[in-house]
Structure 1
Amino acid sequence: MTERRYDPSLVDAFLKHHWTFRPVDATFMGDKTHDALLPPCGPETLAEELAGIAALEGQLADTLEPEAPGDRLDRRMMLGELAFQKAAAEGRPRLANPAWYSGEAAFAIISLLLPQSAPVRRGGLIARLNALPTFLQSALDRLNGQAIPESWTARARREAWAMAEFLRSDIRLHDEFADEWTLPATMAAEAFDAFASGLSGFADADPACGEEHLTLVMKTVHGLDFGPRKAVERAQEAFDRMGDELVEMARRIDPAKSWQELIAGLVDRHPVDQQSVIQSYRDHDLVARRDGAMLVTSAEDYGLDYRWMSPCFRKISQSLYFLFYRSPPGLNPGEGSVYWVTPPGDDKSAFLRGNNTATVKTIHSVHHGGVGHHTQNARARAASSRLARIAGTDCALGLAFLGSGTMIEGWACYVEDLLMEAPGFYDPTEILLLKQYERRNAASVLVDVKLHLGDWTIKEAMAFYRDEAGFAAQRVESEVVRNSMLPGSRLMYWIGVEGIKDLRRRWKGDTLGFHDTLLSYGHMPLAWIGEEMQRAGQLK
């Protein structure tokens, strides 16, 4: 068969297909033409989606590899994502997950109320509110008689009840609330209640996706050259080794205390009052940018505004996949991004401890803030690949295109450690905390893989996170449930970091050049970025 030239306009056809079945993703990405729509979920939906996938694969098949790097990466991303969507539709359909419905329904509304969507597109908001009763009833019809992991059903109930309460009350606290929202919001709230009440009587099911599907995710989506069993082997070795390293690091800091005691003591180092907390976010962000300037060029041309979370979202944010920093809509980014800080509740002491200096510095100001996700997202919008500009968009349940995750989460975790190269930025106990973070990410590889190979049950995975990996008890259940719904989504953190370290060892130039070049590729599988660097003669 004669090979054909690749047509860059296939990206438009691919996005049209994607947004047809995932219109809430379109809103998060900044495309406004789908704001009035909810995802289709009728009996014909998966067949129509598979037909669309087949048509796109037919257009991409036997096309010549493009010469331009951006086109080359776009083509690979489309082929990988289509293969993944096809496998999921045939063997692990999202339409069989009640938490997919609750998440899409909730964020169909919330996505239009966030600062990134200001001013509120009122027509789209009301249209989606009016469509929710039909959507949620169709969901119940679709789920009827299926076997579903109980933890997925429990999550869907919690999200639905929380969203019903939001639509009855806190939505009225939104700065742009209008009386015309009241009736459709009330009817939508009733639909959420009915959906939650209807989620009963299902037989429990095993959430494991199996080795074949997980291998496809790792090799076709993430671009890795190894599979699940090798990932477990590597992660287990690292987890064990870092356990020993934590003991030795703690001994050097204070022989009288364990590493667990030293890390626990970090919560007592915090700002003195509420206003000092939000200022600490800003101050640590500025210091990270300044001290890291010789390591990575931070995005100074795109703003990051740390502010208290809007009152209307304070309750609902506790029940949904609600991010304090969410990737800006790549197709309509505006002049800057909002980073929300949750204000204190009744327990002011717990608020201050939760916003201790080490946590604010590592997680908020570095991982997510100026030199982390924020700079990464800003640089991605200038990538030569069109899909690399938006693939890492945070959507209702996770990243728009899973393959972007080794770069997205790999960079944000890597940059935490990178700031150790800035003299004085961290103290020894904060570096100890970073080692614990790294060990927990290796632990997450074990859970991600062993859960989906059927080696561990959800309860066994939760026990490992809690008893051996050191996850906070209140975080364990939601973490494992999310692992169970999204195979291959948690292994990308540690594997991404390890991949960046490997590329840096092979880089021919200086440190700043490496990091800036890496970020210039945008939201793409790290393995493919490495291949492009090799192709450009930049690696040893």
Structure 2
Amino acid sequence: MDEFLKWYFSDRPVVASSLGADGYDHTLGDFTASAWTARERAEERWLERLSATEAASVDDAIDRDLVLSQLRGSIALASWPEWRRDPVVYLSAIFVSMYTPFQRRLKPEPELVASAVSRLAEVPGVLAACRANLDPELAAPLLVTRGLGQARTGRNFLTRTIPSMIEDPGLRAKVAEAAEPAARAFDELVAFLEGFQCGGTWRMGERLYSTLLRERELLGYGAAELHEKGKAAWAELDGRMREVARRINGSGDWRAAMESLMDDHPPTLADMRSEYEAETQRARAFVRERDLVTFAEGEECQVLPSAEYTRPILSVAHYLAPPPLTSSRTGIFFVPYTPDDFTPEQVRQRLRTNSRAQMPSIAVHEAYPGHHWHLSYMAGSTSTPRKVFRTPYFTEGWALYVEKLLHEQGYFDTPATELAHLDCRIFRAARMVVDTALHCEDMSVEEAETFMATKASLSPGTAQGEVNRYCAWPTQAPSYLTGAIEIDRIRESFQGSLKEFHDRIAGSGGLPLGLAEQAALG
């Protein structure tokens, strides 16, 4: 396993440094076509080698099977090469590698600057590889347009945002100077993408989608079954929400009730951040008072505006975990700010989808005892593979599971917050329906946007951003409710207290759900 991880980190230095591994901060890695194909061959060799390895213990077997599931998923995706389809593959590596170190500040500023300057020198080469590798027959216009929106933020991000995060004037000037050639490379990429003609599809297809569910996520079913589970969950939640809505507006029309609740929102983006910070602290105090989990020593959750480069492609709150290969236990709950070019009405709609009724559920999900508690706690694991590899079917499933947990514990103590909690859940059921339908060719983008805007309480603009994300990230959107349902099922078989169950299953990592069940139940 040590040999495998050494290869994995060397092949993916941005991932390695994001996890906190030493020695990888100076480079972005090789994005040429030959590197991608060499990676695919190496993964097949590692799969064969690790499959033949006997495990000395149950824990070792789980570690091995975790890595095997990741390899099988990656090898399956070789038939759907993102690096030929989507410019965001290249852009995300640059943005993450430049932004995250200055956000976390785990090293002295001169070291951070030296690494940034080294990586900036590689940006033109990475973006040249993007232009060379994108295949007009495979790349989809939707994905290219999405990438173009992010690429347009590149110059400002490198020449203004990153330098503004550096305190020393001399070091700031050094980064600004190094950023200019990289910014010109972004300008060239923008011009290239604006003229890039392509005709590929973003639809993954049922066969590969189901393969990923079974072999990477270790679920016992495929896309068709997942779709039906989503429809059944939506119908059950719809009935519950009608009952709660009657206590709000007397009609049982939960969409109308949510529309009225969404009008009570923070007046500005800055106020939204401030109110989320207060709600995060309230959730933390509640979880500690109820003794639902064991807290990691020294954990801290910062609540900050979302990074500028994520705003064109992410319309919802999200979270940056502590780097698990370091001693840091500080995570960041990013509040979903809008791009600078949004109109006042678009900003208002964003604020409406972060209303005061919805904030408790979102803070629980992102912070306590959701993502932040989980990922700060599991960073103390003694298993390196479990720190490195995790699946959204557990991590997102956990965050939605604890929303239901806190509802059971009485955290959502008004009809408004209870309805908003259920709305967050029915939204995830709608995702299960839409994501499977989109990628199995049963629904158009327009139909999906309408579905999300009418079957969940999303504004048309937010629904559009959500569907855009589903098209670009197949199988991720259903992970929330799928994982929550599976974790609930595992809890029913656990002999012990709630706290013991939570510490055991979440402390075991972010495992595929079949392995999480083994870790929790032995």
TM-score (norm 1): 0.86
Which of 3, 7, 10 is equivalent to 1:20? 10
1:44-74 Cα deviation digits (max 9, x unpaired): 12331122112212321222244242x1221
Q: Does 1:38 align with 2:25?
A: no
Q: Within 2, Cα distance between the matches of 1:220 and 1:455?
A: 23
| Residue of structure 2 in register with 1:306 after alignment | 302
Q: Within 2, Cα distance between the matches of 1:138 and 1:496?
A: 36
Letter in 2 for 1:297: V
CA contact (8 A) 1:164 1:193 kept: yes
Deviation at 1:78, TM superposition (A): 1.2
| Residue of structure 2 in register with 1:129 after alignment | 120
Q: Secondary structure at the match of 2:33?
A: coil
| Residue of structure 1 in register with 2:328 after alignment | 334
CA contact (8 A) 1:116 1:329 kept: no
Deviation at 1:355, TM superposition (A): 5.5
Q: Within 2, Cα distance between the matches of 1:489 and 1:307?
A: 24
1:145-181 Cα deviation digits (max 9, x unpaired): 4431111100111111111122233333223352111
In structure 2, stretches of 5+ residues that fail to align are none
In structure 1, stretches of 5+ residues that fail to align are 1-9, 393-403
Q: Within 1, Cα distance between the matches of 2:181 and 2:383?
A: 42
Which of 192, 197, 206 is equivalent to 1:202? 197
Q: Return closer, same or farther for 1:276/1:488 CA change in 2, 3 Å cut-off.
A: closer
Which of 377, 380, 395 is equivalent to 2:378? 380
Which of 238, 263, 270 is equivalent to 2:258? 263
CA contact (8 A) 1:291 1:425 kept: no
| Residue of structure 1 in register with 2:441 after alignment | 454
Deviation at 1:501, TM superposition (A): 1.2
Letter in 2 for 1:372: G
Q: Within 1, Cα distance between the matches of 2:266 and 2:5?
A: 46
Q: Within 2, Cα distance between the matches of 1:321 and 1:271?
A: 20
| Residue of structure 1 in register with 2:210 after alignment | 215
Q: Secondary structure at the match of 1:113?
A: helix
| Residue of structure 2 in register with 1:60 after alignment | 50
Which of 531, 535, 539 is equivalent to 2:518? 531
Letter in 2 for 1:162: T
Letter in 2 for 1:262: A
Q: Within 2, Cα distance between the matches of 1:314 and 1:62?
A: 43
Which of 309, 316, 322 is equivalent to 2:309? 316
CA contact (8 A) 1:383 1:521 kept: yes
Q: Secondary structure at the match of 1:40?
A: coil
Q: CA RMSD in A?
A: 2.9
Q: Return closer, same or farther for 1:521/1:114 CA change in 2, 3 Å cut-off.
A: same
Q: Within 1, Cα distance between the matches of 2:458 and 2:264?
A: 20
CA contact (8 A) 1:292 1:422 kept: no
Which of 432, 450, 458 is equivalent to 1:463? 450
| Residue of structure 1 in register with 2:356 after alignment | 357
CA contact (8 A) 1:379 1:520 kept: yes
Deviation at 1:357, TM superposition (A): 3.0
Which of 150, 155, 161 is equivalent to 2:146? 155
| 495-504 vs 232-241, which moves further | 232-241
Which structure 2 residues correspond to residues 379-528 of structure 1 after superposition, within 5 A? 379-392=377-390, 404-423=391-410, 425-528=412-515
Which of 288, 299, 304 is equivalent to 2:283? 288
Deviation at 1:131, TM superposition (A): 0.9
Deviation at 1:36, TM superposition (A): 1.8
Letter in 2 for 1:287: R
Q: Does 1:115 align with 2:110?
A: no
CA contact (8 A) 2:244 2:419 kept: yes
Q: Return closer, same or farther for 1:265/1:302 CA change in 2, 3 Å cut-off.
A: farther
Letter in 2 for 1:52: A
Q: Does 1:81 align with 2:64?
A: no
Q: Return closer, same or farther for 1:249/1:370 CA change in 2, 3 Å cut-off.
A: closer
Q: Within 1, Cα distance between the matches of 2:270 and 2:230?
A: 41
CA contact (8 A) 2:329 2:376 kept: no
Deviation at 1:342, TM superposition (A): 6.9
Deviation at 1:317, TM superposition (A): 4.2
| Residue of structure 1 in register with 2:133 after alignment | 142
Q: Secondary structure at the match of 1:332?
A: coil
Q: Return closer, same or farther for 1:65/1:187 CA change in 2, 3 Å cut-off.
A: same
Letter in 1 for 2:190: A
Q: Within 2, Cα distance between the matches of 1:140 and 1:436?
A: 42
TM-score (norm 2): 0.89
| 369-378 vs 469-478, which moves further | 469-478
| 148-157 vs 98-107, which moves further | 98-107
CA contact (8 A) 2:378 2:509 kept: yes
Q: Within 2, Cα distance between the matches of 1:140 and 1:276?
A: 41
| Residue of structure 1 in register with 2:245 after alignment | 250
1:21-45 Cα deviation digits (max 9, x unpaired): 3222112111232212223222312
| 225-234 vs 274-283, which moves further | 274-283
